[in-house]
């Protein structure tokens, strides 16, 4: 019987569904809380055959995934998948390339670029988000030109931003 290592930082509703489904099918799952796991390449002993990466923490999940891949363990939600999905801009580009309908989007580095990008995309309202990060942090909706520079300024101090306009 195969044992699945479920990498997590917390058990949410989705993970509970996975655990319930595994139990119904007599699939063994070992819960691996990556917040407390020690990923030491000299001493790590995996007690599972394949890992399912489900961490809500992008940073911790990425490190755990990379570590396990380097030790030869097969990971579902691999480091390549994680890298693509953690970046909203790369994700949008990939979806667009695959002809999946997406909102209009642009990557900008300054408030002035954001104003031009918004005009190119057809105007307001727009949502401004950092390409990296989760939980909806720093994503103000901007409804008019007057608000754009003040709302974008504080966010562009931390780096580049994606502008997305829903259709």
CB neighbours of 51 closer than 8 A, spacing ≥ 6?
A: 4, 5, 6, 7, 32, 65, 68, 73, 74, 75, 76
Q: Domain 3-85, what fold? A: Rossmann fold (3.40.50)
Rounded to the nearest integer, the mean pLDDT of the chain is 86
- Say what the pTM is: 0.74
Q: What residue spans define the domains of the chain?
A: 3-85, 87-165
Most confident of 32-46, 80-94, 114-128, 147-161: 32-46
SS3 assignment, position 28: strand
87-165 has CATH 3.30.1490.20 classification? yes
Examine the pLDDT at 66 and tell me if it is beyond 90: yes
């Amino acid at each position: 019987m195969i044992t699945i290592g479920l990498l997590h930082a917390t058990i949410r509703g989705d993970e509970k569904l996975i655990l319930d489904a595994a139990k119904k099918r007599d699939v063994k799952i070992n819960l691996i809380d990556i917040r407390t796991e020690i990923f030491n390449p000299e001493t790590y002993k995996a007690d599972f055959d394949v890992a399912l990466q489900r961490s809500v923490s992008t940073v911790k999940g990425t490190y755990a995934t990379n570590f396990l891949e380097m030790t030869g363990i097969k990971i579902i939600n691999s480091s390549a998948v994680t890298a693509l999905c953690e970046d909203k801009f790369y994700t949008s580009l990939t979806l667009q390339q695959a002809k999946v309908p997406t909102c209009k989007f642009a990557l900008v580095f300054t408030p002035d670029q954001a104003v031009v990008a918004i005009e190119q995309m057809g105007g307001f309202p727009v949502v401004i988000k950092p390409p990296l990060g989760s939980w909806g942090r720093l994503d103000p909706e901007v409804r008019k030109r007057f608000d754009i520079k003040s709302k974008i300024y504080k966010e562009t101090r931390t780096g580049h931003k994606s502008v997305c306009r829903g259709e």
